[in-house]
Amino acid sequence: MKISVIGAGYVGLVTGVCLSSFGHRVTILDKNNSKIRSLTKGNSIIFEKDLPELLRKQLKKKKLLLTSSYDDVAQNDVFIICVDTPFINKKPYKKNLIDSIESLLSVISDDSLIIIKSTAPIGTFREIESLVNKRKMKKNVSLCVHPEFLREGSAVSDFLNPERIVFGTSNPSDIDLFKEIYCKDSFQEKILIMSPESAELTKYAANGFLATKISFINEISRISERCGADIEEIKLGLGTDSRIGDQFLNSGIGFGGSCFPKDLQSLSFKKSQLRLPDGILEAALDGNELQLQNFVDKILEFKKENKISFENFSLCIWGMSFKPNTNDLRDSQSIKLVQKLIKHCKKINIYDPVCKKNEILKQFSNNSKLTIFNEKYKSIKNTVGLVIATEWDEFKNLDFDLVKTKVIFDGRNCIDKIKCNKNNIQYVGIGRG
């Protein structure tokens, strides 16, 4: 099967590379020429486990092509749209999606299937359907919705071992073609066929539910730390109930990334268009802000209680990406944390295992107080407190001989509290009274 993937971001790149490993001839198209040049040389432009190896393997097999020109994909059968749909000026921004459909319609031939994989606001399918109907003239072009559920950091494995594959269509004759894309036997029973509207909403509901679960456990953590309970014990007590499940119950400084905050905002925007009142989704977003502020307040309380002046208050923050095992800084709670703390500190030292110095500094309009380090233990020197903002594995087993701070603020509950206390370091975690 000849497949085109439009957009070489996280979703597009992983989708294209993985589908080519199924034996399809895949062309990934992105309007960014330099991205395409890097990828053609086998350089995976994102930090993602297993992706560089698979990319190089598929390029070598000549199963994967890369281009910036729509003319190069004109002869393909299936087009999977994976362009970004950000939330800008309090509204979902669909221009990239519409532009890519327009460009495709001007080149594709008869009997093509266009699959919207981008997380598109509810109602986008019908909007694009009428655009296709207007533009396609005599062409037989079908449209469907196929949301993605992969997570950054485990995207390749998530793609190759899906729990479900959602296919939203109003045209039953497209089902067989769709099944051919996911040609492996083990995938067939995972395919859930539904209406395009349900597929659009399933994506938002999944992210909305997971984000709400995080905001829920974070709310419990705020109660827990004020009444002498430990959220880690509560998490165990909750997660062992199979109706609740133990995933997404890690309490911390809140959720970030390019999906949860944007998708909740987009769903909330849709609700307001439908004249539905605020509810759980908006509370989950508010709770996320509150959780970060609660952590900042604890840091400032420590400063006040220990009578540390501004001149003497310096912190070291570890972990800038929105979660471990990625270099993605988009909507990262760590960045917001630095922004909130910067005015209270004489200086802030930063260490991240993979994010590049200039990428980190770009996130801050005033970065004169920030220093980025390549070595984590060097970054702690001469600071009052170590702040853990992202739970990278390499932070979990601290060498306490090299940590000489007064305090560790553990924003992800990943440091051993008892070891801290044994080493005369005060421990301030999340929800641990």
SS3 172: helix
Cβ distance to ligand UGA smaller for residue 163 or 401? 163
Taking the least distance from each CB to ligand UGA, the nearer of 22 and 149 is 149
Least CB distance from residue 1 to ligand UGA, whole Å? 24
Nearest to 67, CA basis, from 8, 11, 21? 8
CA 299, 301, 305 angle in degrees (round to 5)?
A: 125
Vertex 327 angle, CA 115 and 367, to 5°: 125
Q: Closest Cα to residue 281, out of 344, 214, 337?
A: 214
Q: Which residues bind ligand UGA (CB under 6 A)?
A: 119, 148-152, 207, 210, 214, 248-250, 252, 255-257, 259-260, 322-323
Joined tokens for residue 246: 């133990």
Whether residue 154 contacts residue 46, with contact meaning beta carbons closer than 8 Å, is answered with no
In angstroms, give the least distance from the CB of 252 to ligand UGA. 4
73 three-state secondary structure = helix
- The catalytically annotated residue of 18, 144, 259, 414 is 259
30 versus 152: smaller Cβ distance to ligand UGA = 152
At closest approach, how far in Å is the CB of 164 from ligand UGA? Answer: 11
Cα–Cα distance, 205 to 213 (Å, whole number): 12
Tokens describing residue 358: 């200039």
Pick 260 or 318: Cβ nearer ligand UGA = 260
Question: Are 428 and 410 spatial neighbours (Cβ–Cβ below 8 Å)?
Answer: yes
Nearer to ligand UGA, 213 or 303 (CB): 213
First to last CA, the chain: 58
Q: How far is the CB of 233 from ligand UGA (least distance, A)?
A: 16
Catalytic residue list contains 18: no
Identify which of 125, 173, 176, 128 has the alpha carbon closest to the alpha carbon of residue 146. Answer: 125
Rounded CA-CA distance 216/214 in Å is 5
DSSP single-letter state for residue 182: T
Half-sphere exposure of 28 (CA within 13 A, CB side): 33
DSSP 389: -
Nearer to ligand UGA by C-beta: 252 or 385?
252
Q: How far is the CB of 113 from ligand UGA (least distance, A)?
A: 22
Q: Cβ of residue 193: shortest distance to ligand UGA, in angstroms? A: 20
Strand partners, 143: 114
Residues 432/224, Cβ–Cβ less than 8 Å: yes
255 and 217 Cβ atoms separated by less than 8 Å: no
Q: Are 14 and 39 in contact (CB under 8 A)?
A: no
Nearest-5° angle of CA 167, CA 172, CA 174?
65
Which residue, 128 or 320, has its beta carbon nearer to ligand UGA? 320
Distance of closest approach, residue 311 Cβ to ligand UGA, in angstroms: 33
What is the enclosing helix (H) or strand (E) of 408? strand 407-410
Nearest approach, Cβ of 136 to ligand UGA (angstroms)?
29
Instruction: Kindly tell me which of 249 and 414 has the beta carbon lying closer to ligand UGA.
Output: 249
Catalytic residues: 259
